[in-house]
Amino acid sequence: MRVSLLSKALVVGAYQRKCELIAQHGAALTALVPERWDTQPLEAAHTAGYDLRALPIRLNGNFHLHHYPTLPAELRRAAPQVFHVDEEPYNLATFLAIREGLRRGAKIVFFSWQNINRAYPPPFRWFEQYAFRRAHAAIAGSEDCKRVLQAKGCGLPIHVLPQFGVDEAIFAPSAKTEKTGAFVVGFAGRLVKEKGVDVLLRACAGVAGARVRIAGAGAERASLAALAQALGMSERVEWVEATSTQMPAFYAGLDALVVPSRTMPNWKEQFGRVIIEAMACGVPVIGSSSGEIPNVIGDAGLIFREDDVAGLQAQLQTLMASPALRESLGLAGRKQMMDNFTMRRVAQKSVEIYRSLAASR
């Protein structure tokens, strides 16, 4: 079975492990990846058993309008039976990819993280309806995403499956050799308002002895540093840079990971990949009530109401005071991830979808 997978997310080296596992199931896989996405260059980290092809990209960083000028030639070369377009259905790249895949006789499946029902203006609404009419299946990242697709009129078979899982061999509990004896609270992600890092800083300001380690970049970096200074905790905050392959070492230095996302009018947390990465490493997770976070954490962590600084502070103080609770949550998180979110499971389910499409008329 020949499969082509178009995905800008695969510029991240750790995510390419899914491709290796798909290939191990017998699929002749070609992964079509941009040479860079926004400021992130392609990291070729897991490349065994499949063909990783770097494509030039037009309008790099433009979520809705980016596209790939050499895609027709790549599909002629790969001749896929199944073409997985790892893109939202309302984007130009998706419309062009589906159209070209149909010309090659491929069965088409697209992916969506859209968990808020929004009406898009033309031409994006037209792209979306074209995908609903002409693709053969859809993959939704969560049950919320599936409900949104159905509400928008998508009558295709919709499979619920996260975009990526975690490699349980790479993201695993460690001896935490980086720890210094302080209670270290971590955050990993974009430094933007919706990620709620300001809530984390305000909560930790009231937890004596807690240090904060932040891995990420974004528009709020300067204002967050100013907030830390205003709270009198600049010396307790560490700003770090870590590539996807360095994240296991980042988690190894934490006593807890906090995901303090806040819902905005046009956004709510879609999944929270850092949650399953931290749980895989045996790190207790505290998450807000935004979007999919409570469903991903389940009973394996702690949840606080969005923007509730006092609530988060209380949970941090409870964790700090109880090594036994940290250990039990770490074990529960690892089990939650192994049962539901391994990269191996995502790859296996993806191949099942591909095979059902390849066998259908």
Among residues 49, 66, 37, the alpha carbon closest in space to that of 3 is found at 49
| Domain architecture of the chain: domains with CATH | 2-165+342-359 (3.40.50.2000), 183-340 (3.40.50.2000)
* Residues in Cβ contact with 155 at an 8 Å cutoff, skipping those fewer than 6 apart: 132
Q: How far is CA 202 from the centre of its chain?
A: 26
> Whole-structure pTM over 0.95, yes or no?
no
Q: What is the pLDDT of residue 2?
A: 98
From first to last of its 361 residues, the chain has per-residue pLDDT tens of 999 999 999 999 989 999 999 999 999 999 999 999 998 999 999 999 999 999 999 999 999 999 999 999 999 999 999 999 999 999 999 999 999 999 999 999 999 999 999 999 999 999 999 999 999 999 999 999 999 999 999 999 999 999 999 989 889 998 554 455 789 999 999 999 999 999 999 999 999 999 999 999 999 999 999 999 999 999 999 999 888 789 999 999 999 999 999 999 888 898 888 999 999 999 999 999 999 999 999 999 999 999 999 999 999 999 999 999 999 999 999 999 999 899 999 999 999 999 999 999 7
H/E stretch holding 53: strand 51-55
Cα 332 to Cα 301: distance, rounded to the nearest angstrom: 8
Burial 65-91 (b: 16+ CB within 10 A, else e): ebbbeebeebbeebebbbbbbbbbbbb
188 forms beta bridges with: 215
Cα 5 to Cα 84: distance, rounded to the nearest angstrom: 5
